[in-house]
Amino acid sequence: MDRKQLVEQIFTKKTFLCVGLDTDLNKVPHFLLKEEDPIYAFNKAIIDATAPYCVAYKPNLAFYECYGLKGMQAFVKTIDYLKKNYPNHFIVADAKRGDIGNTSKMYAQTFFEEYNVDSLTIAPYMGEDSVKPFLEYKGKWTILLALTSNKGSQDFQLFEDKNGLRLFERVLTKSQEWGNPNNLMYVVGATQGSLFADIRKLAPESFLLVPGVGAQGGSLQEVCKYGITKDCGLLVNSSRGILYASSEENYAEVAAQKAKALQEEMAIELAKL
């Protein structure tokens, strides 16, 4: 999915919600554990319920890899289900890859050819040659970690060099020499508040993938105040707040209600543009 198509979906559906598929068998409704593939059964129900209210889905690979072969089979089935039934939804593989060039090339082949997802999260710590193999794929997106929502983000990401440039700012400026707003996004945590303004100074047209709204306490209104652009420029992710809003048989219905509530808030923000 290219930028034009993504922006069109956002304004047509009046939402920039990304639903995170962080499927944890310790948290899904217990009756689903009787299913042959409980991860896929849960994902399928969540997708069907929330699809009208979002433009993207973000399966986190850790929640599939931890279950070995069965988990990865559930991941593949989930991707296939999305592509067959909801082809206009943007798919983010949240895998946080990034390694030396030849290894990154294999990661890129895995996710962009074998799994055929739209985008992949990348840790840029190893620099240009670890990122460029992903950027070579036309129509695919590389999403670099920039300023994350976890407490430990300040350990490295806010470190200033002798010129006062913070590490996340270095990531933003340097990476734009390799890619552009049509194939490069950045992860910026919703809990970072007014720092979105600093990010927009350096990446005014780039899309930002924003986790941390909901269970992590990030404010959608604050994110939009500092981060939204004329093209929206945001994919705001919610995972736990939607997935596990209910552990009863109505779990999918309640998930839809949570997603709809966020969509309605997002529609208000988009109407201001």
Range of the domain at 201: 3-271
For 140, phi then psi, to 5°, come to -115, 155
Instruction: Report helix, strand or coil for 143.
Output: strand
pLDDT value for 214: 65
* Active-site residue (options: 96, 105, 132, 225): 96
Q: Is 96 a catalytic residue?
A: yes
- Say which CATH number the domain at 246 has: 3.20.20.70
Nearest to 45 by CA among 58, 32, 36, 54: 32
Query: Hey, what are 10's tokens?
Result: 């956002």
pLDDT value for 213: 81
Whether the Cβ atoms of residue 91 and residue 82 lie closer than 8 Å to each other: yes
Nearest to 39 by CA among 85, 68, 78: 78
> How many other β-carbons are positioned within 10 Å of the β-carbon of residue 85?
12
How far is the C-alpha of 253 from the C-alpha of 263, rounded, in Å? Answer: 15
pLDDT value for 217: 65
Query: Hey, what are 154's tokens?
Result: 């300040």
Beta-strand (E) ranges in 90-213? 90-97, 119-122, 141-147, 184-188, 207-210
| Domains identified in the chain, total number | 1
Residue 272's Cβ-count burial label (10 Å; 0-12, 13-18, 19+) is exposed
Per-residue pLDDT of the chain (273 residues; tens, 9 = 90+): 999 999 999 999 999 999 999 999 999 999 999 999 999 999 999 999 999 999 999 999 999 999 999 999 999 999 999 999 999 999 999 999 999 999 999 999 999 999 999 999 999 999 999 999 999 999 999 999 999 988 899 999 999 999 999 999 999 999 999 999 999 999 999 888 889 999 999 999 999 999 988 656 678 999 999 999 999 999 999 999 999 999 999 999 999 999 999 999 999 999 999
> Each residue of 107-118: b (16+ CB within 10 Å) or e?
bbeebbeebebb
